[in-house]
A and B are shown apart, each in its own frame.
Chain A
Amino acid sequence: MIGLAAVMLLATTGRIAGISGLAQSALPPLRGGVSAAVGAAFVLGLFAAPVVYMAATGSAPQMTVNPSLGVMVAGGLLVGLGTAIGNGCTSGHGVCGLSRLSVRSLVATCVFMAAAFLTVLVVRHGMGG
């Protein structure tokens, strides 16, 4: 479904389904009306997904979130900063970039996967560093 959605977006609007990029294009300062509206519409579609899912299945998906607001804020800040500077996240580099056979995206994906593996290793097992 993720791959299908990425192909749908490219085939219809010509845009790459990079969530960090689409979300940023929907935030001020807005550049180009249609571009911002496409980004905003995609994000609205994401918001609609839980509603449709719960209407269809009658239950919420299983979700366990770290209750520490400090960790979540630090994580959010790093994810926002990193995806903006590195021009992409799991969807833009990981799915769309690899599907375009982009070398930049292959490097980015290997780097953020390695950084994430290492982070979980340090946080959960107290090793590495």
Chain B
Amino acid sequence: MMGPVLSILAALVSGLVFGLGLIVSGMINPLKVQNFLDLFGTFDPSLAFVMGGAIAVALPGFWLVRQRGRPLFADRLRLPTKRDVDTPLVGGAVLFGVGWGLAGYCPGPALTAIPFAMTPTLAFVAAMVAGFYLARLVRPGAAEGAPKPLATTHKETHR
């Protein structure tokens, strides 16, 4: 069964390309991110184009993949199925936004920066992992974290 092996290799390559994107775009620089977030000070709009550019590629890309209906190396697309805007979604986004503003790191750039082994980066990542686990105590229903929507998506296969 080659599917899982190819999936893992493809994920490795995707992670590499994603990480290079974060480095080349400057997302990996917390000061640049905070300058982007500083609307009334040093506002640096270049990162908006990074996000816009990523969406400009992913929007038609995702549409094509969904037209095809099935991934290359797995049995089905695992897309989130929740549709409702609820308190955890909004509350979680508020907490995340405050943390992102404070540190200038969101999860992708922080993980990508680990090999540079700067102490503040490592402290951030350790605290972030602690936060993942803390969330399971605060909200046991979210114990599956991201895998939860993955488990229930058969009906999404042919969208």
Cβ of A101: which chain B residues have Cβ within 8 Å of it? Answer: 59
* B2 close to chain A: CB less than 8 A: no
Known: A107-B89, A113-B97, A114-B97. A35 touches B147 (CB 8 A): yes
A69 touches B108 (CB 8 A): no
Contact A63 B116 (CB under 8 A): yes
Q: B93 and A115: CB pair below 8 A?
A: yes
Contact A96 B97 (CB under 8 A): no
Let me know if B61 is at the binding interface, CB within 8 A. yes
The size class of the interface chain A forms with chain B is: 35 or more
Q: A78's contact among B11, B110, B131, by CB below 8 Å, is which?
A: B131
How many residues of B sit at the interface, in one of the four size bands? 35 or more
Contacts of A45 in B (CB 8 A): 11-19
Given A8-B10, A14-B77, A108-B89, A66-B120 contact (CB < 8 Å): yes
Per the bound structure, the CA–CA distance linking A92 and B92 in Å amounts to 13
- The SS class assigned to the A binding surface is helix
Nearest CB of A to B20, in Å: 5
Assuming the contacts A11-B65, A71-B102, asked whether A117 and B15 have C-beta atoms less than 8 A apart, the reply is no
CB <8 Å contact, B11 and A41: yes
Check B132–A41 contact: CB distance below 8 A. Answer: no
- Cβ of B149 within 8 Å of any chain A Cβ, yes or no, is yes
- Per the 8 Å Cβ criterion, residues 1-49 of A in contact with B are 1-25, 27, 31-35, 37-39, 41-49
